[in-house]
Amino acid sequence: MEAIDKGIAKRKIKLFDIVKVIIYSAIIAVLAGCSANTAPIDNPGSIAELISLDIGGMEQWVLIRGDDRSNPVLLWLHGGPGAAQMPLAHHLDAELEKEFVVVHWDQRGAGKSNHRGFDAQSMRFDRYITDAHELISYLKERFDQENIFLLGHSWGTQLGIELASKYPEDIRAYISVSQVVDNHRAYEIGYEWLQDQIKKGQNPDDVKGLEELGSPPYTEHSKHVAFAQMVGKYGGNFDISMSRLARIAMRAPEYSIADYYRWLNGANRGSGPMWDEVYTQHINYTEKITKLEVPVFFFAGLHDYNTPHQLIKEYFEKIAAPVKELITFKNSAHTPFLGEPEKFSREIIRIKHELKNIRENNHEL
């Protein structure tokens, strides 16, 4: 257990570095008199709103931006749980906002939606599905659209695949980024890869740490964290450093000083009361959801050992859908929108136009 404690301690040190960035940036924000808002888009018919909505009986925050409010809606379902993506919108979405009405939603317990009115005991998988569907219904009505583009990342793919399966009439296409396929096999594949990487690196501390962890699956939270930290250390998780990620996030005009504290608190909580429901249990979508009635596009980083490319490829080959495609990001791991941002946006825009062409020639889609 000592090696595990060391892994957690390293994680705390990294979080401390992030906190230092936040404090420094917060001082600048106070001196500048900044408050949370989103920059206007100088274009007739555009939309740029940072709003709170009553979703699932609590206040939840949504960012809506696009050059033309008549464009299709693209809803992001962030990862985590708790890792709200809204603070990265200003860095990632410039090209997407030209083609879509891009919506970032801080889910319950994440980012701006991790406020005093949030009850952690409300964190249940079915509650997140209901929340997401409420938001989708709102967006359809608000923008007078029959259906929307749905994009999920990591934890968000568990919500996304379920929503696409349960409510196909609401989804124009499902874009899966780093799809959760089989959590137990993901551990096994990541473990074997990590063994090879550690042997190559000849790091005795990591050799001992992996031995202390033992073989997967990891049903104890501390072991899961330590394993994920090791995978990240060897390049199988995030595609940029946490310090760089923090610097990008701290430039977000949509977040106040308090929001950054809420973000950290929510990210550290993670799945919270859902731990057993979304991690301990064996999740296997190759058996649970084998068919979709909507187009599905799998974005997968070749070097991802959190949600391994191998499993996503297997799932892509098995699942039935009216249109399906596997897009591999050869220079990315778990976060291709950070590893290859230009390609990421370009592929999403391509999907929009290709589906439009298909719809014009085939009314079934």
- Hey, where are the domains in the chain? 47-184+240-361
Instruction: Note the pLDDT of residue 289.
Output: 98
Give the length of the chain.
365
User: Rounded mean pLDDT of 308-326?
Assistant: 98
Confidence grade of residue 280 (pLDDT, cut at 50, 70, 90): confident
pLDDT > 70: what percent of the chain?
A: 90
Q: pTM score > 0.85 for this model?
A: yes
Sign of torsion, CA 252 80 158 314? positive
Residue 174: which pLDDT band, with cuts at 50, 70 and 90?
very high
Q: Which residue has the higher pLDDT, 217 or 66?
A: 66
pLDDT, position 6: 37
Token duo for residue 190: 């990541």
Averaged pLDDT score across all residues of the chain = 90
CB atoms within 10 A of CB 180: 26
Mean pLDDT, range 89-93, rounded to an integer: 96
Q: What pLDDT does residue 5 have? A: 37
- Using the predicted structure, report yes or no on whether residue 299 has a pLDDT greater than 90: yes
Report the side by side order of strands in the sheet with 101-106: 47-55, 58-66, 101-106, 73-77, 148-153, 171-177, 296-301, 324-329
CB 90 within 8 A of CB 62: no
The fraction of the chain above a pLDDT of 90, given in percent, is 80
pLDDT tier, 33 (very low <50, low <70, confident <90, very high otherwise):
very low
For residues 3-25, give the mean pLDDT.
Answer: 46
Q: Are 334 and 309 in contact (CB under 8 A)?
A: no
Architecture of domain 47-184+240-361: 3-Layer(aba) Sandwich (3.40)
Neighbours of 119 (CB within 10 A): 12
Q: What pLDDT is stored for residue 201 in this prediction?
A: 81
Q: Is the pLDDT of residue 28 over 50?
A: no
Please determine, for residue 202, whether its predicted confidence score (pLDDT) is greater than 90.
no
Region 254-260: mean pLDDT is 95
| Parallel/antiparallel/unpaired status of strands 296-301 and 58-66 | unpaired
Least confident range from 150-164, 229-243, 297-311, 341-355: namely: 229-243
The pLDDT of residue 22 is: 53
Lowest model confidence (mean pLDDT) among 106-115, 274-283, 345-354? 274-283
According to the model, what pLDDT value does residue 13 have?
Answer: 42
> What is the DSSP code (8-state) at residue 281?
S
**Poorest-confidence range of 49-53, 233-237, 361-365?**
361-365
